[in-house]
Chain A
Amino acid sequence: MFLASARKLRSFGIIGMNQRNFGLISRYNPRHLYPLVDDKLKTKLLAQKAGITVPKLLGTLQYQHDVKLLKGILSPYAQFVIKPVKGSGGKGILVITEHDHNLYFKPSGDAIQLADIERHVSNILSGLHSLGGKPDTVMIESLIQLDPVFSDYSYEGIPDLRIIVLRGYPIMAMLRLTTHASDGKANLHQGAVGVGIDMGTGSALHAVQYGESVSCHPDTRKTFPELVIPHWDKLLQLAAACYEMTGLGYLGVDIVLDRDQGPMIIELNARPGLSIQVANCAGLAPRVAVIEALKNVEPDLQLRVAFSKKQFAADSGIHPPRQQRTRIDDPDS
């Protein structure tokens, strides 16, 4: 059987693309707020104003003739990340982990030259990676340092945590682990591993790669049951705070853990994808229903997070504990 029956998927509460676009994005996200999250510079400023930690901005480039300045901007730093300000889906992100004279090294160990970086920057400025091909701005950020918690679970990259926030309530979370196949990127369709996270405790529930269950990280062979995300409450509060910050009712918050500076928000997404359901082996629809049943949004962040933790914990009554059973049944664990 290659196709699931639509009836069964509906009974699991899986939300499809059409349902997401119609029932979540267009209902909760007013279009005029999109620029706040589509423009990463604006997001960064907004977050800083709200007192949320973000990766340090090393510099921006807006015009083609600024490309000449690149060498000067980059020279003090051994490690940095180059991003298109209006990029989407992780496109156009260049990570440099080592700088040696004229050679810059990517996480995979490939060496590139300044000219290659200049071309990449020039492409971004021309709008190659931006939505609709509009001219874009380049931003250069400091590199995030891998938190030792994840050192066994990532390969040539930084894992990030995606939390879906509906009307200010975190409803589902997934950890994206970089792999060799994903070329150090935390993109599921490129081969990163998605790990469903128990909303109640921050521990791993279940993991998938290319849509299929995996029991351990494909490169480090480390199994997932031991994986527990630290500072779980803080992370949930950080995500929930983005609702007040942006006003967007349906939001994907991407958080990384920095070894030195702790949790940081790297990106907000007004059109978060649906793979999180596969990673959690659970549908969004029942959780959306719980939040939609609330008359009004609780203004207190902590109370909201407490509500979510209680409602959406893996062993809560609303969601039968089948995820846990799956975990125990895993032959490799």
Chain B
Amino acid sequence: MHAKLRLYIIVILMMGLGIGLILYKHFALGFPLSPDDKKSVWTIEAKIDFIARGDPVIVSFALPPQTPNTVFMEEDFASPDYGFSELTSPAGRRAQWSKRTASGPQTAYYRLSVYEMDPITGTVTSDLPSEPEKPEFDEVLKTAATTLLDQVRSKSANTEIFTRELISTLNSNAPSQNQRLLLNDQSSEDYKTHLIINLLALEGISARIVRGLYLKDGRRRQSLSNFVEVYIGGQWLLFNQDSGESGEPRNFLIWQRGDQSLLDVVGGRNSQISFSIIRNVHSTRNLVVRDGMNKQAGLVDFSIYSLPIEQQNAFKMILLLPIGALIVVIMRLLVGIRTSGTFMPILIALALIQTTLLTGIIIFLTVVGTGLLIRSYLSRLNLLFVARISAVIIVVIAIMASISIISNKLGLDQAMTVTFFPMIILAWTIERMSVLWEEDGPREVFIQGGGSLLTAVIAYLFMTNRTIEYLTFNFPELMLVNLALILILGQYTGYRLSELYRFHSLERRHVSGKR
């Protein structure tokens, strides 16, 4: 009883650890549970053009802030012959290119690859706003502003509705006198943004400008769009200044917050900035692994991913073996299928993976069948046992070579995969089956041979399942769960399925005996 309790504790610990690690990797590191999970990776290129005047040049360019929901895969800065540095200040990151003298048209590039993570709830960046400065309007404008604000205030119940109402009033198709006065016919984006912020400030509401980029595949010569971010109820809320919609739109990258300039060029003129955007689709797993390696996250850094690709591929296969072992345990302990050699089916299944199912089975049956024929002749030659099994190995190799050559001549390329079958195992199988045939008759040979093949095919089907292959390789901690399952199965003392058949006549006799 004591030992049993200990075993259950171990099993529960292993299950907990295994499943816990899987959940951690899935939710915290973002490993997808399905191999088909894909993500869009946006490559954004900012091109800065200006004409230098022959003086020292400093180009300062605002870089997008990193947020928990976006992952920056790669950032490149390129500009010939310029010195480059990246500056980080509380206001945000900036890139700075500099050169002693430059003249004529100049170009600088900034390239960013970025993808979005699944939003993680509860991580709202709430930097506190400063007290809104009362804007200075001249008398006429101030009157217009106050009238407009009164009008909007009367229609709204809280700050959020107020902001939305204000924006839609300013954007209305039939503007009143006041609105036209405020908008001043200057329909530039920046003017409107500042107007909204100023009006909100008059009302005592903190707001700031946000510039961002709509991510759409194949766009060129894009510019940043302006948004208004308003501090409501302890957090910042983004408003579209054209429609009044709140919340961050889909596929939108926030480039800059606050009123710093996007681009400063000292020693140049006619500076221009344009963005182009390309979308690529990548498997989520690859992105996450790459990100983990970059960040040196312990679980990723100390894992199979840190091995060379060749070893990784070997492990892909090795990590499937526990699944095969589990199948064998289930087939033998729960179903009660007899196999020749305990784990021979797994080795056959591994060979089947290389050869594909049908070809593999045909090859297996051909090799074993031919081997049995030749082996029955060998048994008449009166050989010592070790010599005979060695002879069988050579026979197996000869059969395999002939299958390869003949199938090649016939143009059947598939059958050439015969070399993937483990020769020694095949030889042992032939030897065992042959002895079994002599001692227990062909029936037993078919039972055990069929049982082995059935187990191998089931193991094959599981081991070639894309999802299982993906999960075993990317979540090696599944092995702990697998081990726990096998430990539990090792405690199973109930009947095997085959025993329900073996003893079924007993049941009938008991019934007839009672009648």
Binding site for B on A (CB under 8 A): 1-6, 8-10, 12, 14, 16-19, 22-23, 64, 91-92, 115, 118-119, 122-123, 125-128, 189-190, 208, 211-213, 277-278, 281, 322-323, 325-326, 329
Contact = CB atoms under 8 A, between A and B. Distances in A.
Given A6-B495, A16-B494, A127-B385, A213 B503 contact: no
Given A17-B496, A213-B509, A277 B503 contact: yes
Given A16-B493, A123-B385, A127-B385, A329 B512 contact: yes
**7 pairs of A and B residues whose beta carbons are closest in the complex:** A126-B385, A322-B513, A4-B507, A16-B495, A4-B504, A3-B500, A19-B493
Nearest to B381: A119
Interface string B377-388: 000001011100
Given A211-B502, A278-B506, 16 more contacts: A4-B500, A4-B501, A5-B500, A6-B494, A8-B507, A8-B510, A9-B503, A12-B506, A18-B492, A22-B493, A64-B384, A119-B382, A126-B386, A189-B444, A277-B506, A322-B513
Nearest to A281: B509
Contact of A118 (B382, B492, B500): B382
Contacts of B501: 2-4
Nearest to B502: A211
A322 B500 contact: no
B439 A91 contact: yes
29 contacts: A2-B504, A3-B504, A4-B504, A5-B507, A6-B500, A8-B510, A9-B495, A12-B507, A14-B503, A16-B493, A16-B494, A16-B499, A17-B336, A18-B493, A18-B494, A19-B493, A19-B495, A23-B493, A119-B382, A122-B385, A126-B384, A126-B385, A189-B440, A277-B506, A281-B509, A281-B510, A322-B510, A322-B513, A326-B513
A281 B505 CA distance: 9
A115 B492 CA distance: 48
Contacts of B497: 3
- Which among B494, B503, B509 has the greatest number of chain A C-beta atoms within 10 A? B503
A18 B496 contact: yes
A209 to B, nearest CB: 11
B278 interface: no
Interface string B254-274: 000000000000000000000
Contact of B503 (A4, A115, A126, A325): A4
Given A190-B440, A281-B509, A281-B510, A19 B494 contact: yes
Residue from B333, B439, B492, B508 having most chain A Cβ neighbours under 10 A: B439
B417 to A, nearest CB: 30
Contact of B505 (A10, A18, A278): A278
Given A16-B493, A22-B493, A211-B502, A122 B384 contact: yes
Given A3-B501, A6-B494, A14-B506, A326 B336 contact: no
A282 to B, nearest CB: 9
A326 B435 CA distance: 39
Given A4-B500, A16-B496, A18-B496, A9 B336 contact: no
B514 interface: yes
Contacts, number: 102
B491 interface: yes
A10 B495 CA distance: 9
Interface in B430-448: 435, 439-441, 444
Interface in B459-515: 491-497, 499-510, 512-514
A326 B506 contact: no
A197 to B, nearest CB: 17
Nearest to A321: B513
Contacts of A278: 502-503, 505-506
Interface in B47-69: none
Contacts of A119: 382
A190 B333 CA distance: 23
Contacts of A322: 510, 513-514
Contacts of B496: 16-18
A104 to B, nearest CB: 15
Nearest to A8: B507
A17 B441 CA distance: 23
B513 A325 contact: yes
Nearest to B499: A16
Nearest to B491: A22
Contact of A211 (B440, B444, B505): B505
A31 B503 CA distance: 29
A322 B435 CA distance: 41
A194 B512 CA distance: 20
Interface string B308-350: 0000000000000000000000000100100000000000000
B55 to A, nearest CB: 89
Given A8-B507, A22-B493, A122-B385, A128 B500 contact: no
B39 to A, nearest CB: 47
A80 B382 CA distance: 22
A18 B510 contact: no
A277 B505 CA distance: 11
A126 B386 CA distance: 7
Contacts of A10: 495
A234 to B, nearest CB: 30
Nearest to A91: B439
Contacts of B502: 211, 278
A326 B500 contact: no
Q: Which of B336, B444, B494, B513 has the most CB of A within 10 A?
A: B513
Nearest to A326: B513
Contacts of B435: 128
B440 A1 contact: no
Nearest to B428: A133
Contacts of B514: 322
A247 B257 CA distance: 84
A325 B512 CA distance: 9
Contacts of B493: 16, 18-19, 22-23
A277 B507 CA distance: 12
B327 to A, nearest CB: 17
A17 B509 contact: no
A6 B270 CA distance: 88
A9 B506 contact: yes
Contacts of B444: 189
Contacts of B336: 17
Nearest to A18: B493
A19 B270 CA distance: 88
